């Protein structure tokens, strides 16, 4: 069945460092891909998404490109801040716009000043 694999955490970076969180997926067909973020004590929030191959999602300085050839959707940010400390979840949606989400296990990011 469809699945999402994320790099294991936790990831600890210094402020202003470059961030990459790897995400690969297995799916039949062409899913939409998402990154959600969960700040401490809060619910999951959509960070960015891409709905077809070669689309780039971006938000708050984060970017991810839908790579069909490598079945990947890696999350990147050029310069992280302390306020980016959170758990990041990669997800795919199958079954079109009304379909269900399948999440990866999450990657915890800690940014030190």
Residues at the site binding other proteins, with contacts judged by CB under 8 A:
4, 36, 41-46, 49, 89, 91, 93, 97-98, 100-101, 103-106
99 neighbors 85 (Cβ within 8 angstroms): no
Q: CA 73, CA 63: separation in Å to the nearest integer?
A: 9
Q: Nearest approach, Cβ of 15 to other proteins (angstroms)?
A: 26
Quote the least distance from Cβ 18 to other proteins, whole Å. 24
Q: Which is nearer to other proteins, 46 or 53 (CB)?
A: 46
CB of 61 to other proteins, least distance (A): 20
Give the pairing of strands 86-94 and 107-112: antiparallel
Angle at alpha carbon of residue 52, lines to 80 and 26, rounded to 5°: 80
């Amino acid at each position: 069945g469809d699945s999402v694999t994320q790099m294991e955490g936790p990831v600890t970076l210094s402020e202003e460092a470059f961030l990459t969180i790897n995400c690969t997926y297995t799916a039949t067909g062409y899913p939409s891909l998402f990154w959600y973020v969960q700040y401490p004590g809060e619910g999951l929030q959509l960070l960015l998404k891409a709905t077809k191959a070669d689309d780039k999602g971006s938000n708050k300085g984060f970017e991810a490109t839908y790579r069909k050839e490598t079945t990947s959707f890696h999350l990147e940010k050029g310069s992280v801040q302390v306020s980016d400390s959170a758990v990041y979840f990669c997800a795919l949606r199958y079954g079109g716009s009304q379909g269900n989400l399948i999440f990866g296990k999450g990657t915890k990011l800690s940014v030190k000043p």
